[in-house]
Amino acid sequence: MVTVAVIGAGGWGKNHIRNFGEIQSCRLKAVCDLNEKALAAAKASYKNVETTTSAAAVFGDRQIEAVIIATDAPSHYRLACDALAAGKHVMVEKPMTLSPADAEDLVKRADAAGRILMVGHLLEYHPCVLMLKDLVDKGRLGDLRYMYCQRVNLGVVRKDENAWWSLAPHDVSIVLFVFQAEPVTVTAQGQAYLQKGVEDVVFAQLKFADGRMAHIHVSWFDPHKIRKVTLVGAERMATFDDMDASEKIRIYDKGVTAGAVVGYEQALSIRMGDILIPKTPGGEPLRLECLHFLECIEKKKTPRSDGRDGLRVVRVLDAATRSLRAGGAPVNL
Ligand SMILES: NC(=O)c1ccc[n+]([C@@H]2O[C@H](COP(=O)([O-])OP(=O)(O)OC[C@H]3O[C@@H](n4cnc5c(N)ncnc54)[C@H](O)[C@@H]3O)[C@@H](O)[C@H]2O)c1
Protein backbone atom coordinates (compact mmCIF):
# COMPACT_ATOMS: atom_id res chain seq x y z
CA MET A 1 0.00 0.00 0.00
CA VAL A 2 1.74 3.16 -1.23
CA THR A 3 0.99 6.36 0.69
CA VAL A 4 0.61 9.34 -1.62
CA ALA A 5 -0.11 13.07 -1.59
CA VAL A 6 -1.43 15.27 -4.39
CA ILE A 7 0.00 18.78 -4.69
CA GLY A 8 -2.27 21.01 -6.79
CA ALA A 9 -6.02 20.52 -6.42
CA GLY A 10 -7.13 22.67 -9.34
CA GLY A 11 -9.00 21.72 -12.50
CA TRP A 12 -6.82 18.70 -13.29
CA GLY A 13 -5.48 17.91 -9.82
CA LYS A 14 -9.08 17.13 -8.78
CA ASN A 15 -8.97 14.16 -11.12
CA HIS A 16 -5.77 12.87 -9.52
CA ILE A 17 -7.39 13.26 -6.10
CA ARG A 18 -10.44 11.28 -7.25
CA ASN A 19 -8.31 8.51 -8.72
CA PHE A 20 -5.85 8.14 -5.85
CA GLY A 21 -8.77 8.49 -3.44
CA GLU A 22 -10.60 5.59 -5.12
CA ILE A 23 -7.73 3.20 -5.87
CA GLN A 24 -7.75 0.53 -3.19
CA SER A 25 -4.05 -0.31 -3.41
CA CYS A 26 -2.90 3.10 -2.20
CA ARG A 27 -3.65 5.54 0.59
CA LEU A 28 -4.23 9.20 -0.28
CA LYS A 29 -2.89 10.80 2.89
CA ALA A 30 -2.71 14.49 2.01
CA VAL A 31 -3.75 17.13 -0.50
CA CYS A 32 -1.83 20.38 -0.79
CA ASP A 33 -2.90 23.58 -2.53
CA LEU A 34 -2.26 27.27 -1.97
CA ASN A 35 -5.98 27.84 -2.42
CA GLU A 36 -8.10 27.07 0.65
CA LYS A 37 -11.25 26.64 -1.46
CA ALA A 38 -9.61 23.86 -3.46
CA LEU A 39 -8.60 22.19 -0.19
CA ALA A 40 -12.13 22.47 1.20
CA ALA A 41 -13.49 20.74 -1.92
CA ALA A 42 -10.98 17.90 -1.50
CA LYS A 43 -11.86 17.56 2.18
CA ALA A 44 -15.57 17.46 1.35
CA SER A 45 -15.01 14.44 -0.88
CA TYR A 46 -12.39 12.64 1.23
CA LYS A 47 -12.95 13.27 4.94
CA ASN A 48 -9.86 11.37 6.09
CA VAL A 49 -7.47 13.26 3.84
CA GLU A 50 -5.24 15.85 5.50
CA THR A 51 -5.12 19.22 3.75
CA THR A 52 -2.33 21.78 3.82
CA THR A 53 -1.14 24.87 1.97
CA SER A 54 2.48 23.87 2.58
CA ALA A 55 4.26 21.61 0.09
CA ALA A 56 7.18 21.55 2.58
CA ALA A 57 4.86 19.90 5.13
CA VAL A 58 4.07 17.17 2.58
CA PHE A 59 7.76 16.65 1.83
CA GLY A 60 8.50 16.51 5.57
CA ASP A 61 5.90 13.79 6.20
CA ARG A 62 7.87 10.55 6.37
CA GLN A 63 4.79 8.39 5.79
CA ILE A 64 4.26 9.90 2.35
CA GLU A 65 6.26 7.91 -0.18
CA ALA A 66 5.04 9.46 -3.42
CA VAL A 67 3.73 12.82 -4.57
CA ILE A 68 1.71 13.87 -7.60
CA ILE A 69 2.50 17.39 -8.73
CA ALA A 70 -0.48 18.89 -10.58
CA THR A 71 0.31 22.56 -10.14
CA ASP A 72 0.86 25.07 -12.95
CA ALA A 73 3.83 24.32 -15.18
CA PRO A 74 6.29 27.01 -13.92
CA SER A 75 6.20 25.43 -10.42
CA HIS A 76 6.85 21.85 -11.59
CA TYR A 77 10.65 21.98 -11.54
CA ARG A 78 11.07 23.44 -8.04
CA LEU A 79 8.43 21.22 -6.45
CA ALA A 80 9.81 18.10 -8.15
CA CYS A 81 13.37 18.96 -6.99
CA ASP A 82 12.19 19.39 -3.40
CA ALA A 83 10.12 16.20 -3.53
CA LEU A 84 13.07 14.15 -4.83
CA ALA A 85 15.38 15.75 -2.24
CA ALA A 86 12.92 14.57 0.42
CA GLY A 87 13.12 11.01 -0.97
CA LYS A 88 9.66 10.92 -2.57
CA HIS A 89 8.71 9.19 -5.82
CA VAL A 90 7.33 11.84 -8.15
CA MET A 91 4.65 11.96 -10.78
CA VAL A 92 4.65 15.42 -12.32
CA GLU A 93 2.10 16.74 -14.76
CA LYS A 94 2.98 17.71 -18.31
CA PRO A 95 4.97 19.63 -19.37
CA MET A 96 7.57 18.20 -17.01
CA THR A 97 9.50 21.49 -16.96
CA LEU A 98 9.71 24.63 -19.06
CA SER A 99 13.30 24.08 -20.21
CA PRO A 100 15.40 21.10 -21.33
CA ALA A 101 18.10 22.08 -18.77
CA ASP A 102 15.61 21.78 -15.91
CA ALA A 103 14.26 18.51 -17.32
CA GLU A 104 17.81 17.06 -17.57
CA ASP A 105 18.48 18.15 -14.02
CA LEU A 106 15.34 16.41 -12.74
CA VAL A 107 16.30 13.18 -14.51
CA LYS A 108 19.76 13.32 -12.87
CA ARG A 109 18.28 14.03 -9.45
CA ALA A 110 15.81 11.15 -9.73
CA ASP A 111 18.61 8.78 -10.79
CA ALA A 112 20.85 9.94 -7.95
CA ALA A 113 18.03 9.60 -5.41
CA GLY A 114 16.97 6.20 -6.78
CA ARG A 115 13.38 7.46 -7.00
CA ILE A 116 10.79 7.15 -9.72
CA LEU A 117 10.19 10.21 -11.84
CA MET A 118 7.15 9.91 -14.07
CA VAL A 119 5.45 12.51 -16.26
CA GLY A 120 1.71 12.79 -16.82
CA HIS A 121 1.81 12.05 -20.54
CA LEU A 122 -1.78 10.91 -20.34
CA LEU A 123 -2.17 9.78 -23.93
CA GLU A 124 0.56 7.17 -23.50
CA TYR A 125 -1.92 5.43 -21.21
CA HIS A 126 -4.93 5.81 -23.51
CA PRO A 127 -6.02 2.32 -24.60
CA CYS A 128 -6.55 3.58 -28.16
CA VAL A 129 -3.05 5.03 -28.42
CA LEU A 130 -1.72 1.71 -27.14
CA MET A 131 -3.78 -0.03 -29.83
CA LEU A 132 -2.31 2.27 -32.51
CA LYS A 133 1.19 1.58 -31.22
CA ASP A 134 0.51 -2.14 -31.29
CA LEU A 135 -0.68 -1.90 -34.91
CA VAL A 136 2.53 -0.09 -35.80
CA ASP A 137 4.79 -2.45 -33.85
CA LYS A 138 3.19 -5.51 -35.44
CA GLY A 139 3.70 -4.04 -38.90
CA ARG A 140 -0.05 -3.92 -39.65
CA LEU A 141 0.33 -0.53 -41.35
CA GLY A 142 3.61 -1.39 -43.09
CA ASP A 143 6.48 1.04 -42.63
CA LEU A 144 5.18 4.26 -41.12
CA ARG A 145 5.49 7.22 -43.45
CA TYR A 146 3.97 10.15 -41.59
CA MET A 147 1.41 11.11 -38.99
CA TYR A 148 -0.49 14.18 -37.91
CA CYS A 149 -2.32 15.22 -34.76
CA GLN A 150 -4.99 17.84 -34.23
CA ARG A 151 -5.92 19.13 -30.78
CA VAL A 152 -8.13 22.16 -31.32
CA ASN A 153 -11.19 23.69 -29.63
CA LEU A 154 -12.53 27.00 -28.33
CA GLY A 155 -10.92 27.77 -24.92
CA VAL A 156 -9.57 27.27 -22.30
CA VAL A 157 -7.50 30.38 -23.13
CA ARG A 158 -4.54 30.50 -20.76
CA LYS A 159 -2.45 33.56 -19.91
CA ASP A 160 0.78 32.07 -18.57
CA GLU A 161 1.45 29.59 -21.36
CA ASN A 162 0.61 29.52 -25.05
CA ALA A 163 -1.49 26.91 -26.85
CA TRP A 164 1.68 25.04 -27.80
CA TRP A 165 2.88 24.43 -24.22
CA SER A 166 -0.66 23.87 -22.98
CA LEU A 167 -1.88 21.39 -25.60
CA ALA A 168 1.04 20.03 -27.62
CA PRO A 169 2.83 18.03 -24.87
CA HIS A 170 0.17 15.36 -25.46
CA ASP A 171 0.73 15.23 -29.20
CA VAL A 172 4.51 15.39 -29.01
CA SER A 173 4.43 12.52 -26.53
CA ILE A 174 2.16 10.48 -28.85
CA VAL A 175 4.44 11.08 -31.85
CA LEU A 176 7.63 10.14 -29.99
CA PHE A 177 5.88 7.13 -28.43
CA VAL A 178 4.54 5.81 -31.75
CA PHE A 179 7.68 6.59 -33.78
CA GLN A 180 10.06 5.53 -30.97
CA ALA A 181 12.45 8.21 -32.18
CA GLU A 182 13.32 11.84 -31.64
CA PRO A 183 13.06 14.33 -34.51
CA VAL A 184 16.14 15.86 -36.04
CA THR A 185 14.43 19.09 -37.10
CA VAL A 186 11.46 21.00 -35.73
CA THR A 187 9.70 23.93 -37.38
CA ALA A 188 6.73 25.84 -36.01
CA GLN A 189 4.57 28.74 -37.05
CA GLY A 190 1.94 30.31 -34.86
CA GLN A 191 0.07 33.47 -34.13
CA ALA A 192 -1.15 35.35 -31.04
CA TYR A 193 -4.54 36.94 -31.71
CA LEU A 194 -6.19 37.19 -28.30
CA GLN A 195 -3.30 38.20 -26.04
CA LYS A 196 0.00 39.77 -27.00
CA GLY A 197 2.82 37.24 -27.16
CA VAL A 198 0.67 34.21 -26.25
CA GLU A 199 0.15 32.09 -29.37
CA ASP A 200 -3.43 30.81 -29.74
CA VAL A 201 -2.70 28.58 -32.71
CA VAL A 202 0.47 26.70 -33.69
CA PHE A 203 1.29 24.45 -36.63
CA ALA A 204 4.48 22.44 -36.10
CA GLN A 205 6.42 19.92 -38.16
CA LEU A 206 8.77 17.28 -36.79
CA LYS A 207 11.17 15.62 -39.24
CA PHE A 208 12.96 12.39 -38.43
CA ALA A 209 16.31 11.13 -39.72
CA ASP A 210 14.72 8.31 -41.73
CA GLY A 211 12.28 10.59 -43.59
CA ARG A 212 9.26 10.09 -41.35
CA MET A 213 7.39 13.26 -40.55
CA ALA A 214 4.79 14.44 -38.04
CA HIS A 215 2.60 17.50 -38.12
CA ILE A 216 0.93 18.90 -35.00
CA HIS A 217 -1.86 21.50 -35.06
CA VAL A 218 -2.97 22.93 -31.71
CA SER A 219 -5.35 25.79 -30.99
CA TRP A 220 -7.75 27.10 -28.37
CA PHE A 221 -9.20 29.52 -30.91
CA ASP A 222 -11.05 27.20 -33.26
CA PRO A 223 -14.72 26.41 -33.93
CA HIS A 224 -14.22 22.62 -33.81
CA LYS A 225 -13.40 20.34 -30.95
CA ILE A 226 -11.00 17.88 -32.55
CA ARG A 227 -8.77 15.29 -30.88
CA LYS A 228 -7.51 13.26 -33.77
CA VAL A 229 -4.42 11.31 -34.78
CA THR A 230 -3.86 10.03 -38.32
CA LEU A 231 -1.16 7.50 -39.19
CA VAL A 232 -0.14 6.80 -42.77
CA GLY A 233 1.80 3.62 -43.41
CA ALA A 234 3.15 2.12 -46.60
CA GLU A 235 0.42 -0.56 -46.54
CA ARG A 236 -2.45 0.76 -44.41
CA MET A 237 -3.61 3.87 -42.65
CA ALA A 238 -5.26 4.39 -39.27
CA THR A 239 -7.04 7.12 -37.36
CA PHE A 240 -7.81 7.64 -33.69
CA ASP A 241 -10.66 10.07 -33.09
CA ASP A 242 -11.08 10.64 -29.37
CA MET A 243 -14.26 12.67 -29.92
CA ASP A 244 -16.02 9.68 -31.44
CA ALA A 245 -17.72 7.89 -28.54
CA SER A 246 -17.97 4.44 -30.09
CA GLU A 247 -15.77 4.22 -33.19
CA LYS A 248 -12.51 5.70 -32.01
CA ILE A 249 -10.13 3.72 -34.23
CA ARG A 250 -10.42 3.08 -37.94
CA ILE A 251 -7.97 1.05 -39.97
CA TYR A 252 -8.06 1.81 -43.68
CA ASP A 253 -6.86 -0.94 -45.98
CA LYS A 254 -5.79 1.68 -48.46
CA GLY A 255 -2.48 2.40 -50.08
CA VAL A 256 -0.56 3.24 -53.18
CA THR A 257 1.66 0.57 -54.69
CA ALA A 258 4.42 1.27 -57.12
CA GLY A 259 4.02 -1.09 -60.06
CA ALA A 260 6.06 -1.86 -63.13
CA VAL A 261 8.02 0.86 -64.85
CA VAL A 262 5.97 2.11 -67.80
CA GLY A 263 7.84 4.35 -70.18
CA TYR A 264 9.35 7.22 -68.27
CA GLU A 265 6.96 6.90 -65.34
CA GLN A 266 6.32 4.32 -62.74
CA ALA A 267 2.76 3.04 -62.63
CA LEU A 268 1.13 3.74 -59.29
CA SER A 269 -1.87 1.65 -58.39
CA ILE A 270 -4.25 2.91 -55.77
CA ARG A 271 -5.75 0.30 -53.48
CA MET A 272 -9.10 1.19 -51.95
CA GLY A 273 -9.79 -1.62 -49.51
CA ASP A 274 -12.06 -2.06 -46.51
CA ILE A 275 -12.27 0.11 -43.44
CA LEU A 276 -12.06 -1.83 -40.20
CA ILE A 277 -13.47 -0.36 -37.00
CA PRO A 278 -12.07 -2.55 -34.21
CA LYS A 279 -13.62 -2.83 -30.79
CA THR A 280 -11.46 -0.68 -28.56
CA PRO A 281 -10.68 -1.45 -24.94
CA GLY A 282 -12.17 0.88 -22.34
CA GLY A 283 -10.65 2.32 -19.18
CA GLU A 284 -10.09 5.86 -17.97
CA PRO A 285 -6.61 6.85 -19.20
CA LEU A 286 -5.85 8.77 -15.98
CA ARG A 287 -6.83 5.77 -13.82
CA LEU A 288 -4.49 3.59 -15.90
CA GLU A 289 -1.73 6.20 -15.59
CA CYS A 290 -2.15 6.37 -11.79
CA LEU A 291 -2.15 2.57 -11.48
CA HIS A 292 1.01 2.43 -13.60
CA PHE A 293 2.74 4.91 -11.26
CA LEU A 294 1.85 2.79 -8.22
CA GLU A 295 2.92 -0.42 -9.96
CA CYS A 296 6.28 1.12 -10.91
CA ILE A 297 6.87 2.10 -7.26
CA GLU A 298 5.87 -1.31 -5.93
CA LYS A 299 7.76 -3.35 -8.52
CA LYS A 300 10.66 -0.89 -8.99
CA LYS A 301 9.87 -0.60 -12.71
CA THR A 302 10.73 2.25 -15.06
CA PRO A 303 7.53 4.10 -16.02
CA ARG A 304 6.46 4.19 -19.65
CA SER A 305 6.49 8.00 -19.42
CA ASP A 306 9.58 8.33 -17.25
CA GLY A 307 11.73 11.43 -16.75
CA ARG A 308 13.68 10.72 -19.91
CA ASP A 309 10.44 10.69 -21.89
CA GLY A 310 9.55 13.99 -20.21
CA LEU A 311 12.94 15.38 -21.23
CA ARG A 312 12.54 14.28 -24.87
CA VAL A 313 9.13 15.97 -25.05
CA VAL A 314 10.40 19.18 -23.42
CA ARG A 315 13.30 19.26 -25.93
CA VAL A 316 10.79 19.22 -28.81
CA LEU A 317 8.51 21.78 -27.14
CA ASP A 318 11.52 24.05 -26.64
CA ALA A 319 12.82 23.58 -30.19
CA ALA A 320 9.39 24.48 -31.58
CA THR A 321 9.34 27.58 -29.39
CA ARG A 322 12.71 28.66 -30.78
CA SER A 323 11.40 28.08 -34.30
CA LEU A 324 8.26 30.10 -33.52
CA ARG A 325 10.40 32.99 -32.28
CA ALA A 326 12.52 32.76 -35.44
CA GLY A 327 9.45 33.04 -37.69
CA GLY A 328 9.29 29.34 -38.52
CA ALA A 329 12.99 28.73 -39.20
CA PRO A 330 14.01 25.06 -38.83
CA VAL A 331 15.64 24.23 -35.49
CA ASN A 332 17.94 21.21 -35.35
CA LEU A 333 17.88 19.00 -32.31
N1 LIG B 1 -2.74 15.33 -18.41
C2 LIG B 1 -3.73 16.09 -18.79
O3 LIG B 1 -4.57 15.71 -19.59
C4 LIG B 1 -3.87 17.48 -18.21
C5 LIG B 1 -5.06 18.18 -18.35
C6 LIG B 1 -5.15 19.45 -17.78
C7 LIG B 1 -4.05 19.99 -17.11
N8 LIG B 1 -2.91 19.28 -17.01
C9 LIG B 1 -1.72 19.82 -16.32
O10 LIG B 1 -1.98 19.82 -14.91
C11 LIG B 1 -1.36 20.95 -14.31
C12 LIG B 1 -2.42 21.75 -13.56
O13 LIG B 1 -3.36 22.22 -14.49
P14 LIG B 1 -4.79 22.76 -14.00
O15 LIG B 1 -5.59 22.95 -15.22
O16 LIG B 1 -5.30 21.88 -12.90
O17 LIG B 1 -4.38 24.17 -13.38
P18 LIG B 1 -5.17 24.99 -12.28
O19 LIG B 1 -4.64 26.38 -12.35
O20 LIG B 1 -6.63 24.74 -12.38
O21 LIG B 1 -4.70 24.34 -10.89
C22 LIG B 1 -3.39 24.46 -10.40
C23 LIG B 1 -3.49 24.43 -8.87
O24 LIG B 1 -2.17 24.37 -8.33
C25 LIG B 1 -2.16 25.19 -7.16
N26 LIG B 1 -0.76 25.55 -6.90
C27 LIG B 1 0.07 26.32 -7.65
N28 LIG B 1 1.30 26.40 -7.08
C29 LIG B 1 1.24 25.65 -5.95
C30 LIG B 1 2.19 25.34 -4.93
N31 LIG B 1 3.43 25.81 -4.97
N32 LIG B 1 1.79 24.55 -3.91
C33 LIG B 1 0.52 24.07 -3.85
N34 LIG B 1 -0.42 24.35 -4.78
C35 LIG B 1 -0.06 25.13 -5.81
C36 LIG B 1 -3.05 26.35 -7.50
O37 LIG B 1 -3.52 27.00 -6.31
C38 LIG B 1 -4.17 25.68 -8.28
O39 LIG B 1 -5.24 25.28 -7.45
C40 LIG B 1 -0.68 21.71 -15.45
O41 LIG B 1 0.66 21.32 -15.52
C42 LIG B 1 -1.43 21.26 -16.69
O43 LIG B 1 -0.65 21.33 -17.86
C44 LIG B 1 -2.80 18.02 -17.52
Q: Identify whether 132 is part of a domain.
A: yes
Pocket probe for ligand 1: among 93, 160, 174, the residue whose CB has the most ligand atoms within 8 Å is 93
Domain boundary among 85, 115, 145: 115
133 shares its domain with 173: yes
* The predicted structure's pLDDT at residue 257: 79
Q: Identify whether 292 is part of a domain.
A: no
> Is the full-model pTM beyond 0.85?
yes
Dihedral of CA atoms 216, 217, 218, 221 in degrees, nearest 10, equals 180
Cα–Cα distance list, 327 to 57, 191, 192, 202 (Å): 45, 10, 13, 12
**Within 10 A of 158 (CB to CB), how many other CB atoms are there?**
17
Q: What single letter denotes the amino acid at residue 9?
A: A
The answer to whether 32 and 13 are in contact (CB under 8 A) is: no
Q: Identify whether 245 is part of a domain.
A: yes
49 shares its domain with 155: no
Return the ligand 1 atom nearest residue 122 CA.
1
Q: Identify whether 253 is part of a domain.
A: yes
* The predicted structure's pLDDT at residue 270: 86
99 shares its domain with 38: yes
Tell whether omega for the bond before 156 is within 30 degrees of 0, i.e. cis.
yes
Dihedral of CA atoms 270, 137, 122, 111 in degrees, nearest 10, equals -140
Q: How far is CA 6 from the centre of its chain?
A: 19
Domain boundary among 93, 115, 137: 115
The answer to whether 122 and 16 are in contact (CB under 8 A) is: no
Q: State whether the beta carbon of 87 lies less than 6 angstroms from ligand 1.
A: no
Domain CATH for 39: 3.40.50.720
Return the ligand 1 atom nearest residue 71 CA.
24
Return the ligand 1 atom nearest residue 14 CA.
16
Beta strand spans in the chain (E): 2-7, 26-32, 50-52, 66-69, 89-93, 117-120, 144-154, 185-191, 201-207, 213-219, 221-233, 237-241, 249-262, 265-276, 331-332
106 shares its domain with 138: no
Q: Identify whether 296 is part of a domain.
A: no
Q: State whether the beta carbon of 52 lies less than 6 angstroms from ligand 1.
A: no
Q: Is the pLDDT at 260 greater than 70, yes or no? A: no
How many structural domains comprise the chain?
Answer: 2
Q: State whether the beta carbon of 30 lies less than 6 angstroms from ligand 1.
A: no
Domain boundary among 89, 115, 141: 115
Domain CATH for 253: 3.30.360.10
Express each pLDDT in 75-116 by its tens digit: 999 999 999 999 999 999 999 999 999 999 999 999 999 999
Q: Identify whether 120 is part of a domain.
A: no
- Give the residue numbers spanning the domain of 273: 125-283+315-332
Q: Are strands 144-154 and 185-191 parallel, antiparallel or unpaired?
A: unpaired
183 shares its domain with 321: yes
